[in-house]
């Protein structure tokens, strides 16, 4: 910074004096240190946008265990690095404070959520599946073998991975749960 | 100094998706601008400001009643056609050829309620002669090696002189901390050789980033082509180095008059007469600030053009 | 497309820059219309009239691509003389049973030979316990006891077309034909008669599209089709969410086949799907009626053992003829060593269908108390499905509910803050449902594949671990399966679970199952345990395993092909080395049709794949969707099966006859040809036929969700729902995000200035939209983009309503639930609801609250 008080630093004056005062001379130390934060990332994962079915490529930058940026993958022949507003908001999708990260439990007739640890919740759900399946097991209908349960149903899949849908369908089918549906029906 | 870089926003391919608004906020960590339903077409951003560095304008253009009547066949009209015409659409200027010109949507069936829907992503113009920079007393605003104009948040003291100085009404103080904010053309990204977040995200390449000279040449070709296709009102805005701000670092291809988009038709750097005045008056900075204010009053704020 | 698939739309913009002409047909003037060359506003629910008129225009003026049509479609096939068209029966086809409201499709079959019975035969033969080969109902077949509803129509019970798998319905590989197309019962002539009443005048009267607009469209698509040019159609749920949804797509298919636009570059009918892997969740289905690879779920009354199943699960000719290999390999993938030839490869482990077990039927079963436990995974039916109130009543009547999502979606919180609490219909304490909310991992916190809208599988690498209790569905279901298996008895009913292959490698602290191991199982392995390379390697003898035959090859050479990311700019425009497309990495399906019958490109401009006679193989820019070494002059020997039954000129290799079906002799529940029916709720009488609505549509007479009467003056307006660019579905992935919520903060309805004036609606003010289901409030957006339509001498007003809002869901912005307005009435083929064209009333001001809301609805119901 030039000497002589704030008025001498006023860019208009320095412009009149022919200095490059509005350019390099005005830069703060912070400005001098500026770099794109993606350069500091610990890792970059190649991903795909989770919203619609166009399948735009995404690059996910992670630093210190946090997502610091998600932007388009220029290599993708589908999207060529571009993203729509939803795809551009993907970092907020995965980091926003409203995301629920703990298991919650509501007991029958309960008026509030209660907390529950993950392992207990998993055991409780498994107990209920096994119990409901037994209680509602249907070996035959109208004289024909059906070996199924009409007591357990499932909805959802279009936002999930193929591998996930595969395990779901496989497990449900082995359980005899046939009322399995997803967004493709709607 | 590196090559001057700029934005060319070709509104003829803008689909109004607002990816630019979001990508800008994600990269620059700009806060949300409030959840206000404006009932102004699909625009709920309203204007550029400290918390909106990109703003997509939506302009619905209705068929003028005169043309409705001329073109409606004996069976082509609607009951209540007069009502239709009188009401117009929100922000319907009329009189434009828009995309409803030859080959555009609309066409001569006499029933269309809307003739065109213009969309345009507005941004800081990064003027060649930037009044905001001229009036900044702290040196917070500076011109980068890319020819862009950037506010340094760590230097800005929130005096606000820059706000009225801008002939486009772009730069704005954030209410929470008083400092001024606006588009940096992603200066940090440019330092790393990356294009600005908005231009990178833009699905249709409506926002193009590159060396300004190249962009201007490309824009000239594009506007010629559009005119050849019958878009007679297509024109460039901010591309002329001889205009009142010495040309913009961010310029536009518009399909209608600038006023239609809420842009001042003839922006002038508010500090245009400053050097002369300085020589004549050699007065104190305070009186100069007064001159700046007068200058603003005559030029008008860009925001005043928005409907 | 610009509205809902903006990044895909870049290619339309690019095509336009290269001279393409873009038409946008939509009730609304959207962001797509804004830069299309022409917007044609259409009354919601009338598209078959427009498409039918285009077909009529092509046929009447003989503008079809004749060489393509005669060689590659079933235009010359002769149809049974029992067939009666809607022309003859005032809107019905032959075979309709008014009591069951179902068709016996046997009279739609090709003439002569065993195909006479088509789909009906299969059903009948089984349901009747081994009937004669030709005993296909047709009115004279006497069904056995307990099969009264049949006559071949049972197929309509298990989601129509899907039961035939991806091969479509069975029919004859070589039906009788008249290559001159003059036989009065040949498909071409039937088509001509059927579509003759679909005229430009009718388009104007029914759709509201002026004649000039129609002419411009008709001329553009015919001028841009043929040897040198192609035309593509793109659609989304605006074409499918109708009681005639499947037939909308059929109409477009007929048009595209007539114009020679299928299997060719720049052609096709492109489904723009709305979720990241909605295609994948159909291929590897979390759907009731199919197994992976579109194999039908077995039906109790048709499929007692594997042989029964295979005999009646679609065609024996074409590539579907290999269905035994596909099915046995799937059973081996699931039950491993336990699956042997002696035990039918554990076919008996599969549960059986007995009818429609789709989403809406399941919800009714919840209300009726049959369904006790419900998993909801990344979906939000309390606001996202039609008839939200019905959905919530179902949820409230469960024993237990597991909801997995990123935020506390309304489906998880209905008991605490749902609309039925505010109207006083229920109280929190009265809801007995036990609810588990299980937080989900986001797309960056797990690895796996999405299948995009063009069948492309893309592997996502994991960026970081999920926070807190968040887990992937892969992890949840794997560990749930482990826990369930640990709780089994020796009981026979537990055998399918005990014998299930469920041994995926666990990785990391959280013991996550390996997604690559699952993908490899989906791909399949050979006798040596190595990954297979192609579905043609699958064997019917149990020596191969494959979790989804159409995905076989995604792990070829033990390499995750879906993870390939060779930059687009470093490869051809087809970009075959980015990800992996099913089947066999083919990017354009049925691309044999891009060459003429002799195997030469139709033109140099449109060259895609072609026959290289010197090398004796098909080659080109894409992987040929054809047997690589089958010459164009190949003729199948008598009695040939599977692909060997198709000639070298049969490009549609999954079809029994290798042809594109202009006329569907079997496989559809509501007719072999598309027919315009009015939506279930319509303000108009059907101007084309006496039959008002699809006679086979699926109706639920439930007090939870009554219908608006047709042509009711109480509900004079047409309502259509849609998405906005700024939001996603019911909002769980957009309303909690500040950067998206601020862009569209409130639910609004779009109305024309004329209607606003008439009703006293003020731009920015409030309006209440009413149907027999409920009333919701929305802000008013008065816009000329919504245009009143003049139809049949009257003006019809349409109201547009985006559906992204709900009362909670962690949203920074909330609003009433648009889907609560919609009726539960379904397409009979695929059981999709009619959400795009219903009727409503519109009133100025906010809706009443509490009991007063119920009273208002009651007033409307009582009339």
- pLDDT tens per residue across span A4-20: 454 555 555 544 454 46
C725 plus C662 within the same structural domain: no
Q: Which residue from C707, C607, A16 is spatially nearest to B277, judged by alpha carbons?
A: A16
ipTM of the complex: 0.94
Residue C323 burial by Cβ neighbours in a 10 Å radius (0-12, 13-18, 19+): buried
Which CATH fold topology does A43-95 show? Answer: Phosphorylase Kinase; domain 1 (3.30.200)
- The one-character DSSP state at C636 is P
For residue C566, whether the previous peptide bond is cis, meaning omega lies within 30 degrees of 0, is no
Q: Is residue C14 part of a domain?
A: no
Mean pLDDT (chain C) is: 92
Q: Alpha-carbon distance A167 to C278, whole Å?
A: 16
**What string of DSSP letters covers C797-858?**
-EEEEE----S-TT-SS----GGGG---EE-TTT--B--SSEEEEEEESPPP-THHHHHHHH
pLDDT range class, residue B297, cuts 50, 70, 90: very low
Q: Do B26 and A69 touch (CB under 8 A)?
A: yes
Q: Do A160 and C377 touch (CB under 8 A)?
A: yes
Listed in sequence order, the residues at least 6 apart from C524 whose beta carbon sits closer than 8 Å to its beta carbon are C329, C333, C531, C532, C538, C544, C545, C546, C547, C549, C552
Chain C residue nearest residue A118, CA to CA: C469
Q: Helix C323-335 crosses helix A162-175 at what angle (to 10 degrees)?
A: 80
- pLDDT tens per residue across span C35-50: 999 999 999 999 999 9
Answer whether residue B63 shows pLDDT above 90: no
- Tell me how far CA of residue A8 lies from CA of A15, C192, C501, in angstroms: 11, 87, 79
Q: Is A114 on the interface with C (CB under 8 A)?
A: no
Q: Alpha-carbon distance C664 to C726, whole Å?
A: 40
Q: Do C474 and A163 touch (CB under 8 A)?
A: yes
Q: Helix C245-258 crosses helix C47-60 at what angle (to 10 degrees)?
A: 20
Shortest alpha-carbon distance between residue C511 and chain B (Å) = 33
Q: Is B17 on the interface with C (CB under 8 A)?
A: yes
Tell me whether strands B114-123 and C512-513 are parallel, antiparallel or unpaired. Answer: unpaired
Q: Alpha-carbon distance C397 to C351, whole Å?
A: 25
C224 plus C204 within the same structural domain: yes
**What string of DSSP letters covers B73-119?**
-TTT--TTHHHHHHH--TT------TTTSTTSSS-TTS--SEEEEEE
Chain B residues closer than 8 Å to C27 by CB: none
Shortest alpha-carbon distance between residue A135 and chain B (Å) = 50
Q: Do C35 and B99 touch (CB under 8 A)?
A: yes
Range in A172-176, B302-306, C259-263 the model is least confident about = B302-306
Shortest alpha-carbon distance between residue A109 and chain B (Å) = 35
Kindly report the pTM of this predicted structure.
0.91
Answer whether residue B214 shows pLDDT above 80: yes
Chain B residue nearest residue A1, CA to CA: B139
Q: Do B145 and A11 touch (CB under 8 A)?
A: no
Q: Please compute the mean of the pLDDT values over residues C632-648 and round it to a whole number.
A: 95
Annotated binding residue at B59? no
Q: Please compute the mean of the pLDDT values over residues C81-92 and round it to a whole number.
A: 96
pLDDT of residue C142: 31
**What string of DSSP letters covers C58-102?**
HHHTT-S-HHHHHHHBSTTBBBPTT---HHHHTTB-TTEETTTTE
Q: Alpha-carbon distance C160 to C150, whole Å?
A: 14
Shortest alpha-carbon distance between residue A74 and chain C (Å) = 8
- Tell me how far CA of residue B45 lies from CA of B50, C230, C742, C776, in angstroms: 12, 41, 8, 26
Three-state secondary structure call for residue B295: helix
pLDDT of residue B113: 72
pLDDT of residue C170: 66
Annotated binding residue at B198? yes
- pLDDT tens per residue across span C465-509: 999 999 999 999 999 999 999 999 999 999 999 999 999 999 999
Chain A residue nearest residue B143, CA to CA: A23
Q: Please compute the mean of the pLDDT values over residues C210-235 and round it to a whole number.
A: 97
CA atoms within 13 A on the CB side of C631: 7
Chains touching B by CB (3 or more pairs below 8 Å):
A, C
Annotated binding residue at B20? yes
Annotated binding residue at B17? yes
Q: Please compute the mean of the pLDDT values over residues B194-217 and round it to a whole number.
A: 98
Chain C residues closer than 8 Å to A42 by CB: none
Tell me whether strands C609-612 and C617-620 are parallel, antiparallel or unpaired. Answer: antiparallel
How many other C-beta atoms are found inside a 10 Å radius of the C-beta of residue A112? 9
Q: Do A16 and B191 touch (CB under 8 A)?
A: no
Q: Do A150 and C365 touch (CB under 8 A)?
A: yes
pLDDT of residue B275: 57
C722 plus C844 within the same structural domain: yes
Beta strands in C568-608 (DSSP E): 580-581
Q: Is C410 on the interface with A (CB under 8 A)?
A: no
- pLDDT tens per residue across span C263-320: 999 999 999 999 999 999 999 999 999 999 999 999 998 888 999 999 988 888 899 9
Q: Which of A59, A133, A165 to mutate to test the interface with C (most CBs of C within 10 A)?
A: A165
Range in A6-20, B223-237, C419-433 the model is least confident about = A6-20
Q: Is B137 on the interface with A (CB under 8 A)?
A: yes
Q: Alpha-carbon distance C419 to B124, whole Å?
A: 45
C188 plus C164 within the same structural domain: yes
Shortest alpha-carbon distance between residue C63 and chain A (Å) = 33
- pLDDT tens per residue across span C179-198: 999 999 999 999 999 999 99
The count of CB pairs under 8 A between chains A and B is 117
Chain A residues closer than 8 Å to B202 by CB: 82
C685 plus C745 within the same structural domain: no
Q: Alpha-carbon distance C377 to C365, whole Å?
A: 19
pLDDT range class, residue C141, cuts 50, 70, 90: very low
Q: Alpha-carbon distance B251 to B8, whole Å?
A: 5
Q: Considering only residues 136 to 175 of chain A, which have any Cβ-Cβ distance to chain C shorter than 8 Å?
A: 136-137, 139, 141-171, 173-175
Q: Please compute the mean of the pLDDT values over residues B145-168 and round it to a whole number.
A: 96
Tokens of B295: 């200058």
pLDDT of residue B62: 86
pLDDT of residue C433: 98
Range in C141-145, C223-227, C589-593 the model is least confident about = C141-145
Listed in sequence order, the residues at least 6 apart from C15 whose beta carbon sits closer than 8 Å to its beta carbon are C22
pLDDT of residue C163: 53
- pLDDT tens per residue across span B258-290: 999 999 999 998 876 665 544 444 444 444 444
* CATH code of the domain containing C189: 3.40.228.10
Q: How many domains does chain C have?
A: 3
Q: Please compute the mean of the pLDDT values over residues B215-237 and round it to a whole number.
A: 96
Q: Is residue C593 part of a domain?
A: yes
pLDDT of residue C565: 97
C320 plus C197 within the same structural domain: no
C181 plus C52 within the same structural domain: yes
Q: Is residue C502 part of a domain?
A: no
Answer whether residue C154 shows pLDDT above 50: no
Q: Helix A162-175 crosses helix C515-523 at what angle (to 10 degrees)?
A: 70
Q: Alpha-carbon distance C378 to C411, whole Å?
A: 10
> Which of these three, C634, C665, C696, is where a domain ends?
C696
- Domain ranges, residue C652: 41-122+157-274+587-696
Residue C486: left if φ>0, alpha if ψ -120 to 50, beta else—which one?
alpha
Q: Do A186 and C385 touch (CB under 8 A)?
A: yes
Q: Alpha-carbon distance B295 to C448, whole Å?
A: 60
pLDDT range class, residue A99, cuts 50, 70, 90: very high
- The one-character DSSP state at C203 is I
Q: Are A12 and B274 in contact (CB under 8 A)?
A: yes
C337 plus C250 within the same structural domain: no
Answer whether residue C351 shows pLDDT above 80: yes
C118 plus C176 within the same structural domain: yes
Chain B residues closer than 8 Å to C784 by CB: 60, 62-63, 84, 88-89, 92, 113-114
Q: Is residue C762 part of a domain?
A: yes
| Cα B256–chain centre separation | 13
Identify any residues that bridge with C843 across adjacent strands, giving them in sequence order. Answer: C768
pLDDT of residue C127: 32
pLDDT range class, residue A21, cuts 50, 70, 90: low
pLDDT range class, residue A186, cuts 50, 70, 90: confident
- The one-character DSSP state at B14 is -
Tokens of B60: 């619905």
Q: Where are the alpha helices (DSSP H) in chain A?
A: 5-9, 11-16, 29-32, 85-88, 90-95, 118-135, 162-175
* CATH code of the domain containing C774: 2.40.40.20
Answer whether residue B108 shows pLDDT above 70: no
pLDDT of residue C168: 56
Q: Alpha-carbon distance C676 to C206, whole Å?
A: 10
Q: Alpha-carbon distance C485 to C421, whole Å?
A: 39
C62 plus C167 within the same structural domain: yes
Chain B residues closer than 8 Å to C13 by CB: 13, 15, 204-205
pLDDT of residue B92: 35
Tell me whether strands C775-782 and C798-802 are parallel, antiparallel or unpaired. Answer: unpaired
Percent of chain B with pLDDT over 70: 72
Q: Are C317 and C641 in contact (CB under 8 A)?
A: yes
Chain C residues closer than 8 Å to B38 by CB: 764
Q: Do B138 and A24 touch (CB under 8 A)?
A: no
CATH 3.30.200.210 residue ranges in chain A? 43-95
pLDDT of residue B71: 40
- pLDDT tens per residue across span C517-553: 999 999 999 999 999 999 999 999 999 999 999 999 9
Range in C20-29, C136-145, C643-652 the model is least confident about = C136-145
Is the torsion defined by CA of C378, C382, C388, C393 positive or negative? positive
Q: Do A24 and B145 touch (CB under 8 A)?
A: yes
Q: Is A81 on the interface with B (CB under 8 A)?
A: yes
- Tokens 């009913």 locate to C493
C103 plus C235 within the same structural domain: yes
Annotated binding residue at B57? no
Q: Is residue C221 part of a domain?
A: yes
Identify any residues that bridge with C513 across adjacent strands, giving them in sequence order. Answer: C506
Answer whether residue C148 shows pLDDT above 60: no
Q: Please compute the mean of the pLDDT values over residues B22-40 and round it to a whole number.
A: 97
Q: Which of A85, A93, A95, A98 to mutate to test the interface with B (most CBs of B within 10 A)?
A: A85
Q: Are C462 and C494 in contact (CB under 8 A)?
A: no
Q: Is residue C328 part of a domain?
A: yes
Q: Are C616 and C631 in contact (CB under 8 A)?
A: yes
Three-state secondary structure call for residue C214: helix
More confident site: B115 or B255: B255
Percent of chain A with pLDDT over 70: 88
Q: Is C392 on the interface with A (CB under 8 A)?
A: no
Q: Do A174 and C334 touch (CB under 8 A)?
A: yes
Q: Is B15 on the interface with C (CB under 8 A)?
A: yes
Q: Is residue C222 part of a domain?
A: yes
Q: Is residue C689 part of a domain?
A: yes
Q: Please compute the mean of the pLDDT values over residues C685-706 and round it to a whole number.
A: 96
Shortest alpha-carbon distance between residue C469 and chain A (Å) = 5
More confident site: C119 or C60: C60
Tokens of C506: 């666990």
Beta strands in chain B (DSSP E): 5-10, 54-62, 114-123, 141-143, 149-151, 172-173, 180-181, 207-211, 235-237, 250-254
pLDDT range class, residue C167, cuts 50, 70, 90: low
Q: Do B142 and A82 touch (CB under 8 A)?
A: no
């Amino acid at each position: 910074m030039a000497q002589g008080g704030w008025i001498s630093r006023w860019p208009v004056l320095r412009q009149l004096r022919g200095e490059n005062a509005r350019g390099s001379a005005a830069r703060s130390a912070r400005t001098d240190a500026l770099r794109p934060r993606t350069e500091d990332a610990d890792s970059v994962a190649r991903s795909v946008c989770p919203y619609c079915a166009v399948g735009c490529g995404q690059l996910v930058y992670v630093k210190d265990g946090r997502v610091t940026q998600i932007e388009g993958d220029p290599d993708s022949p589908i999207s060529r690095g571009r993203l729509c507003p939803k795809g551009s908001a993907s970092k907020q999708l995965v980091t926003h404070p409203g995301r629920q990260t703990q298991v919650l439990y509501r007991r029958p007739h309960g008026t509030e959520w209660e907390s529950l640890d993950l392992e207990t919740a998993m055991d409780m759900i498994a107990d209920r599946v096994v119990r409901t399946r037994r209680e509602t097991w249907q070996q035959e209908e109208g004289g024909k073998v059906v070996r199924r349960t009409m007591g357990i149903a499932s909805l959802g899949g279009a936002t999930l991975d193929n591998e996930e849908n595969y395990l779901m369908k496989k497990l449900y089918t082995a359980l005899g749960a046939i009322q399995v549906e997803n967004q493709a029906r709607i | 100094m590196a090559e001057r870089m700029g934005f060319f926003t070709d509104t003829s391919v803008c689909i109004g998706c607002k990816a630019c608004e979001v990508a800008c906020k994600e990269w620059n960590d700009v806060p949300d601008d409030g959840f206000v339903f404006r009932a102004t077409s699909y625009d709920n951003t309203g204007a550029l400001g400290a918390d909106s560095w990109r703003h997509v304008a939506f302009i619905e253009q209705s068929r003028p009643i005169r043309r409705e009547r001329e073109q409606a066949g004996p069976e082509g009209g609607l009951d209540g056609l007069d009502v239709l015409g009188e009401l117009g659409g929100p922000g319907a200027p009329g009189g434009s050829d828009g995309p409803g010109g030859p080959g555009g949507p609309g066409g001569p069936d006499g029933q269309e309620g809307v003739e065109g829907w213009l969309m345009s992503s507005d941004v800081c113009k990064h003027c060649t002669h930037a009044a905001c920079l001229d009036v900044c007393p702290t040196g917070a605003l500076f011109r980068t090696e890319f020819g862009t104009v950037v506010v340094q948040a760590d230097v800005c003291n929130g005096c606000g002189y820059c706000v009225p100085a801008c002939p486009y009404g772009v730069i704005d103080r954030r209410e929470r901390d008083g400092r001024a904010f606006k588009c940096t053309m992603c200066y940090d990204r440019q330092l790393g050789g990356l294009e600005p977040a908005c231009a990178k995200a833009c699905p249709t390449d409506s926002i193009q980033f590159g060396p300004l000279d190249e962009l201007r040449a490309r824009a000239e070709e594009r506007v010629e082509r559009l005119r050849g296709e019958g878009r007679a009102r297509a024109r460039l805005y901010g591309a002329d180095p001889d205009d009142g701000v010495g040309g913009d670092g961010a310029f536009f291809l518009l399909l209608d008059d600038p006023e239609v988009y809420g842009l001042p038709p003839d922006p002038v750097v508010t500090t245009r007469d400053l050097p002369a005045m300085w020589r004549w008056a050699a007065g104190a900075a305070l009186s100069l600030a007064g001159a700046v204010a007068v200058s603003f009053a005559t030029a008008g704020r860009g925001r005043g053009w928005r409907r | 497309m610009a509205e809902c698939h903006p990044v895909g739309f870049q290619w339309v913009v690019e095509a336009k820059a290269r001279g393409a002409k873009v038409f946008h047909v939509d009730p609304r003037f959207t962001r797509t219309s804004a830069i299309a060359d022409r917007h044609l506003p259409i009354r919601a629910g009338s598209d078959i009239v427009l498409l039918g008129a285009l077909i009529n225009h092509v046929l009447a003026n003989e503008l079809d691509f004749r060489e393509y049509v005669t060689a590659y479609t079933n235009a010359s096939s002769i149809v049974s003389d029992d067939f009666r068209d809607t022309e003859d029966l005032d809107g019905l086809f032959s075979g309709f049973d008014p009591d069951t409201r179902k068709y016996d499709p046997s009279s739609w079959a090709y003439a002569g030979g065993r195909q006479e019975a088509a789909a009906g035969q299969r059903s009948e033969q089984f349901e009747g316990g081994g009937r004669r080969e030709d005993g296909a109902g047709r009115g004279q077949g006497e069904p056995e006891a307990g099969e009264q509803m049949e006559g071949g129509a049972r197929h309509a019970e298990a989601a129509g077309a899907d039961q035939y798998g991806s091969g479509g319905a069975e029919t004859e590989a070589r039906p009788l034909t008249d290559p001159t197309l003059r036989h009065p019962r040949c498909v071409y002539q039937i088509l001509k008669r059927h579509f003759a009443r679909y005229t430009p005048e009718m388009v104007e009267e029914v759709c509201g599209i002026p004649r000039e607009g129609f002419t411009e469209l008709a001329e553009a698509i015919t001028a841009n089709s043929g040897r040198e040019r192609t035309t593509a159609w793109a659609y989304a749920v605006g074409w499918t969410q109708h009681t005639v949804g499947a037939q909308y797509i059929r109409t477009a298919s007929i048009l595209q086949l007539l114009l020679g636009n299928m299997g060719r570059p720049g052609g096709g009918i492109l489904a723009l799907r709305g979720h990241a892997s909605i295609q994948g969740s159909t291929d590897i289905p979390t759907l009731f009626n199919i197994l992976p690879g579109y194999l039908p779920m077995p039906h109790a009354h048709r499929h007692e053992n594997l042989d029964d199943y295979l005999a009646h699960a679609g065609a024996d000719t074409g590539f579907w003829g290999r269905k035994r290999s596909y099915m046995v390999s799937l059973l081996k993938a699931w039950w491993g060593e336990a699956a042997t030839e002696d035990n039918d490869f554990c076919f008996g482990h599969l549960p059986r269908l007995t009818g429609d077990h789709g989403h809406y039927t399941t919800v009714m079963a919840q209300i009726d108390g049959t369904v006790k436990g419900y998993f909801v995974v990344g979906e939000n039916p309390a606001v996202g499905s039609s008839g939200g109130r019905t959905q919530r009543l179902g949820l409230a009547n469960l024993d237990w509910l597991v909801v997995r999502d990123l935020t506390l979606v309304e489906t998880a919180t209905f008991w605490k803050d749902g609309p039925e609490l505010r109207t006083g219909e229920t109280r929190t304490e009265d809801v007995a449902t036990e609810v588990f909310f299980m937080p989900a991992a986001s797309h960056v916190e797990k690895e796996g594949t999405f299948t995009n809208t063009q069948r492309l599988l893309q592997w996502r690498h994991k960026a970081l671990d999920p926070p807190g209790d968040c887990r992937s569905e892969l992890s949840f279901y794997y560990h749930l399966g482990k826990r369930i298996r640990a709780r089994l008895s020796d009981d026979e009913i537990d055998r399918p679970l005990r014998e299930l292959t469920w041994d995926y490698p666990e990785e990391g602290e959280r013991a996550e199952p390996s997604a690559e191991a699952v993908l490899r199982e989906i791909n399949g392995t050979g006798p040596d345990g190595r990954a297979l390379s192609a579905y043609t390697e699958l064997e019917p003898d149990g020596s191969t395993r494959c979790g989804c035959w159409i995905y076989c090859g995604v792990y070829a050479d033990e390499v995750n092909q879906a993870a390939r990311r060779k930059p687009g700019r470093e490869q051809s425009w087809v970009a075959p080395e980015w990800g992996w497309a099913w089947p066999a990495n083919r990017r354009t399906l049925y691309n044999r049709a891009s060459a003429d019958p002799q195997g030469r490109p139709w033109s140099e401009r449109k060259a895609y794949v072609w026959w290289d006679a010197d090398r004796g193989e098909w080659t080109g820019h894409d992987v040929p969707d054809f047997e690589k070494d089958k010459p164009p002059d190949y003729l199948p020997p008598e009695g040939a099966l599977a692909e060997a039954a198709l000639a070298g000129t049969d490009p549609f290799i999954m079809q029994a006859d290798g042809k594109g079906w202009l006329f569907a002799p079997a496989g559809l529940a509501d007719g072999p040809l598309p027919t315009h029916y009015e939506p279930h709720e319509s303000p108009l009488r059907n101007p084309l036929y006496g039959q008002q609505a699809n006679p086979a549509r699926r109706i639920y007479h439930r007090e939870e969700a009554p219908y608006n009467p047709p042509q009711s003056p109480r509900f004079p307006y047409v309502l259509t729902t849609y998405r906005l660019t700024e939001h996603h579905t019911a909002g769980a992935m957009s309303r909690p995000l500040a950067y998206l919520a601020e862009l569209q903060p409130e639910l609004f309805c779009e109305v024309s200035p004329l209607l606003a004036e008439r009703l006293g609606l003020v731009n920015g003010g409030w309006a209440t939209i009413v149907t027999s289901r409920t009333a919701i409030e929305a802000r008013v957006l008065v816009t000329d983009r919504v245009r009143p339509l003049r139809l049949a001498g009257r003006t019809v007003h349409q109201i547009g309503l985006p559906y992204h809002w709900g009362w909670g869901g962690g949203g920074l912005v909330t609003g009433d639930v648009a889907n609560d307005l919609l009726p539960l009435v379904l397409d009979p083929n695929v059981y999709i609801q009619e959400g795009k064209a219903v009727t409503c009333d519109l009133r100025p001001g906010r809706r009443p609250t509490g009991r007063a809301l119920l009273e208002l609805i009651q007033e409307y119901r009582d009339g």
